[in-house]
Structure formats: structure tokens, C-alpha cells
Amino acid sequence: MSKKLFGTDGIRGMANRYPMTCEVALKTGRAVARLVREQGFHSAVIGKDTRKSGDMLEAALAAGITSEGIDALSAGVIPTPAVAYFARHIENAGAGIMISASHNPYYDNGIKIFDGNGEKLSGKDQKNIETYIHSDEVFKGSDTGRVYQLDSAVDRYAGFLFEHIDTDRIRKPFKLVVDCANGAACRTARSVFNRPFFEPTYLFVTPDGMNINDNCGSQHTRTLAAKVVETGADMGLAFDGDADRLIAVDEKGNEITGDRILAVCAGYMKEKGLLNNNVVVSTVMSNIGLSKFLKANRIEHEITSVGDIRVKHRMMETGASIGGEDSGHMIFSGCHTTGDGLLTALKLIEIVADKEAAFSELADQMKVYPQILMNVEVDSSRPDFMKIDAIADEIRRVEKNLDGNGRVLIRYSGTQPLLRVMVEGPEHEKIKLYCERLCEKIRESIPA
């Protein structure tokens, strides 16, 4: 049994199988409660998305927390960033736990943990929790905590979001189609968008415990796009299962992913003098079109490895006010401690409304370059492929052919025995050929 439980975004796996079992959840609750108590707090917040296994895992987490003498505050079905918000803003709370597997199918689940500042746990705290889960240690105290419902959690969180939006810029009702993915956004989106500023139409708001992300949400925008065109909406919004990311659709039905959302927001923020240190943070997976857009607008571009937590850390280092991933995670550091799909949606609406322009017009300021991504199966040896002449020479040939108008990105998967090969450039057929050649050289050079 592996000692490592935390991946890039908490603990995750198939529900009711290790590590997503009641036993692991119970011990995770106990370990989090210890962190809470050590920091002088008395409670931890628990939220969940709509997966049917969420009830089971919530009960186990609450049992673990209360067995250590700490209170568990249940926020019910609510977005992940709301849990981070409550962990930070409830006076006696020292942590927040979200039960969700994000955009994964219903049969998966996960545990995401935030500290009392609303930040994702440090590597040190994650390691301490893993050590405790694998130990036989138990709490020997006599006192127990209690489980309380967090009153009006959805409306309180919606109120927080509107603290960071200038609704005076929305001068006429904004027509929306909102895809809630049958997930955590279902109730919160209604609390946010059922206001005089909006004319909303909702899709996928009838969760049954198994239909979360099922041909809907941020990974599947076809139905949303059709509805936007049919209703003549100004914009479509697609959230993932726990609503910490947003993919949008313009009024023509075109999908607008995170890089172009980042470009629209960054350009507007610079224009309004809101772009701290004139810098934007994104990951190596961002489209080269984003780099070119930022350069054309004289905005500095900081690039990190994959993961919203790495984006956040670089933002803290550079003082950036905005950063994100093409997957739709957007972080506005002056507003929140973590990526938030609903906050991103409100920011985007505010910008489009204030500019009095079509969303497509603003999004088209960034040219999206074609990308080809292929996976090559490799064994567990994971050699440094840049030290293999055949591969390194082919990479250099491709980069020379691209001549600054594209790039090659090759990296090992963090979770599977794969080498991921991405080539990006202005011509689809050419980059496809380049990618196939690179994959061929890798298969010849690295055993599967």
C-alpha cells in the first residue's frame, strides 16, 4: 500500500475503494482536527458536491473531527471555493474540507483540504496527515466535538462574491445560459444569478447523485453552446463538478477556455490600472497565443508547471493580481485565496458589460494556435529524454521548423506511465506530423 495519498489536488480515487474509504476519511478527519487544535481553533468546515458517496465520506470525516474534540460545521452542497472562504472567515474555524472529485465521473470522489487562511495545505501538512493515516495512533481524550449545520451558507457565499463586483457596470440585464454540471454550483448559481442584473436560463441543475459531469459542465459544452445560440444569450457559463473552474461560451456558440478568459481579464485590468506589477501567471500548458497576446499588450508573463497551487505560489512571489490555467481555474488574488468559477464568471460579465462589446469580439483578441497532444506509453524508468540524442535532435528539428511561432512540450505524466508530447503551431497538419515524428523517436528510444 502506497504511503503517498495526496496528488496535485488532494486525495482522490474511486469511492468506497482505497483511498476513498470511510476508514481513510475518518483518520483524515482526525488528522485535520489535530491541525486545527494545534493552531488554537475549535472547528472545521465540511462541504461536498452532489456525488452519492459524498454523504458517506462526510459522515466519516465528521466522526473523525468530532472524535478529537473539534466541531464539524457542515455547509452541505456548495462549491469548493466556498469552503475555502468559510475556513478563512468563520472566527473559530481552522480548516475546510471539500468532498469532491472535480470534473471526474460520479463514481470517483476526493478530499481537498484548506487551512484556516483558506489556502490549500502545505506539503509539510500533507505529509503529517499521510503519516497519521498510516499510523495506529488514536486520540485518548474524553471530550468530543459536535456537528452543526452552517446556516445560510449558499447565500452568505453569494454575498461575498458580489463584494468584488461593480454591478453598476452591468447597465442592462445580461442574458445568460448557465450549465451547473448537476454539481456543486446548482444552488449557489441560482443565488448568484437570480438577481435583477441577469436573465438566466439554467441547464443541468437536477443532480441525482450519479449524473454529475455526465455530458455536461466544463468538459462538455456542446449542449450549452446550442442553447446560447437558440436563446440569443450574451454568454454561456459552464462549471465543473465542484465549481472551482469555468469554461465560457460566446454569443456565437464558440467555446472560450481559460487562456482566452485570462487574456480578456488581463487586458481589461491593465486598462483600468488593476494589474498588479503588470504581470500575469499561467502554466506551461497555456496556448502560445496567450504569450503573444500578453507581449503585444506589454504585460509580463510568468509561467509555472501544471497545477493551480503552483500558479498561486508564483502569484504570491510576483505580487500578481491574476493567474490561471487553460482548464478554467482562475485566481484573483485581491478577491480570493483559490480558483473560483463563479467569481470568474462575474468578473467576465462585468468586463463584457462595461466594454459594451460582444464577448466574441473581446475573446478574439487572442489568437488560439492549434495544439496536438499525444501520449506514449513508457516503463517506470523515466530517463531524462533530453539526454537521448535521437529524441533531443528531433525536438531541435521541430523547434527550428516552428521558428518561434510554436513550441514543443514533453513531460512525464504525474499519475500514469506515459510521456505526454504536445506540439503547438500555426498549421494543424504540420504540427500533427511533427508530433507523430517525436512520438516515433520516443517509442524507438524508451521501452514501454
Question: Which of 43, 67, 100, 102 is labelled catalytic?
Answer: 102
| Nearest in space to 174 (alpha carbons), one of 205, 189, 195 | 195
Q: What is the DSSP letter of 208?
A: -
Please provide residue 418's backbone torsions phi and psi, each rounded to the nearest 5 degrees. -135, 150
Q: 218 burial class (0-12, 13-18, 19+ CB within 10 angstroms)?
A: buried
Query: What residues contact 157, with CB distance under 8 A and at least 6 apart?
Result: 78, 79, 82, 85, 86, 188, 191
Q: Is 102 a catalytic residue?
A: yes
Let me know: does 331 contact 339? Beta carbons within 8 Å: yes
Q: Using CA atoms, how far apart are residues 143 and 271, in angstroms rounded to an integer?
A: 56
Q: Using CA atoms, how far apart are residues 333 and 308, in angstroms rounded to an integer?
A: 12
Report CA-CA distances (Å) from 285 to 23, 147, 175, 261. Answer: 36, 42, 32, 15
- Buried (b) or exposed (e) across 237-248, using 16+ Cβ within 10 A? bbbbbbbbbbbb
- Active site residues per annotation: 102
